[in-house]
Amino acid sequence: MAVYTDISDEELAALLARFDLGEALAFKGIAEGIENSNFLLETTAGRFILTVYERRVRAEELPYFLGLMGWLADQGFPSARPVADREGQVLQTLRGKPAAIAEFLPGLSARRPTVAQCRQAGEGLAWLHQAGAGYPGRRANDLGQAAWAGLFAGLGEAAEALKPGLSKVVAADLALLAAGWPGDLPAGTIHADFFPDNVFFREGRFAAAIDFYFACDDLLAYDLAVTLNAWCFESNGDFNVTAGKALIAGYESRRPLSDAERAALPVLAHGAAMRFFLTRLADWGRTPEGALVRPKDPLEYERKLAVHRAGLSILADRP
């Protein structure tokens, strides 16, 4: 949860004066998103989310992210469409920070996804990949496989502090991933953070995806691997085979995987666990005592790394 920026009546009124959205009827900070401040804004024209971009999101990248959200909505995919002001501008400034207004999408995220929701999530992800095809924006994945060795440099001590001996194991993983990383699979625009928090359901069906601020160009099957890791592990660290199969089946109901993609899933999922392990490890060490946002435990992804290292998921199985 996070609301870092307080918006005064005058600031909100000045912002709305740039738009054709009528007058504000309600305005509430919402406890959603770790990196940005989000507000539910109701006006005489409807309901919207106002986002003020705080740390991490680089202002120069916002046109890519906001453009993608609009592109997906244009293709009929349920993504919140950014709203342009009277001059056609989507990107705004509030308190010196970048900000944008997007449509409000109803829906509930799943705190503990069921197998049926995993299937729906897989289908939603494939839909996103199909709808994203043709988006002209380009953004390299700065947290992709090529970046991991660099991310790990300087984190050896933090890894040891987390678990003695871990630094060597991670270094070996990184070598393995570098050697085995597939280069020739279908690529495109991926979400790259398709976690349960970022997916809405309505009446049991996939209803929307939000939070596109890690989206980038990368392998489509890598996005599926990130999603499998985020949705299909039990809290005790075990991979839930039934959930994993359902998620892949849901994905393939819209976009069947090639044999090469299917064969690469184990290494992609191993790598996807590495990516979140590394950024959580970095955040863990960096967060000052008494900070308002608690970093996520890197041990969760250390366990996922171990499962994939040992080939204990179903992903190595042929269908």
d(CA 19, CA 87): 9
CB nearer to a copy of itself: pick between 23 and 142 = 23
Q: Which helix (H) or strand (E) holds 248?
A: helix 241-254
112 binds a copy of itself (CB under 8 A): yes
Q: Which helix (H) or strand (E) holds 202?
A: strand 199-202
CB nearer to a copy of itself: pick between 252 and 300 = 300
CB nearer to a copy of itself: pick between 292 and 310 = 292
310 binds a copy of itself (CB under 8 A): no
Residue of the chain from 110, 158, 161, 263 that contacts a copy of itself (CB under 8 A):
110
34 binds a copy of itself (CB under 8 A): no
Residue of the chain from 6, 157, 238, 317 that contacts a copy of itself (CB under 8 A):
6
168 binds a copy of itself (CB under 8 A): no
Please report how close the Cβ of residue 118 comes to a copy of itself at its closest, in angstroms.
14
**Rg, the chain, Cα only:** 20
> What's the longest Cα–Cα distance across the chain?
60
Among the candidate windows 103-111, 185-193, 261-269, 305-313, which touches a copy of itself by CB under 8 A? 103-111
163 binds a copy of itself (CB under 8 A): no
Burial class (CB in 10 A: 0-12, 13-18, 19+), 86: exposed
Among the candidate windows 108-116, 144-152, 154-162, 239-247, which touches a copy of itself by CB under 8 A? 108-116
d(CA 235, CA 227): 16
Q: Would you say 76 and 132 are in contact if contact means Cβ atoms under 8 Å apart? A: no
Residue of the chain from 14, 17, 20, 25 that contacts a copy of itself (CB under 8 A):
25
* Nearest alpha-carbon partner for 157 in 148, 147, 166, 145: 166
Residue of the chain from 108, 146, 172, 175 that contacts a copy of itself (CB under 8 A):
108
d(CA 121, CA 116): 9
115 binds a copy of itself (CB under 8 A): no
87 binds a copy of itself (CB under 8 A): no
Centre a 10 Å sphere on the Cβ of residue 181 and count the other Cβ atoms it contains. 19
1 binds a copy of itself (CB under 8 A): yes
Q: By rule CB under 8 A, what count of residues binds a copy of itself?
A: 31
Centre a 10 Å sphere on the Cβ of residue 59 and count the other Cβ atoms it contains. 11
Which 241-300 positions form the footprint of a copy of itself (CB under 8 A)?
289-290, 292
d(CA 97, CA 102): 16
DSSP-derived 3-state class of residue 256? coil
Tokens of 138: 């380009």
Residues that bind a copy of itself (CB under 8 A): 1, 3, 6-10, 12, 23-32, 40, 42, 106-108, 110-112, 202-203, 289-290, 292
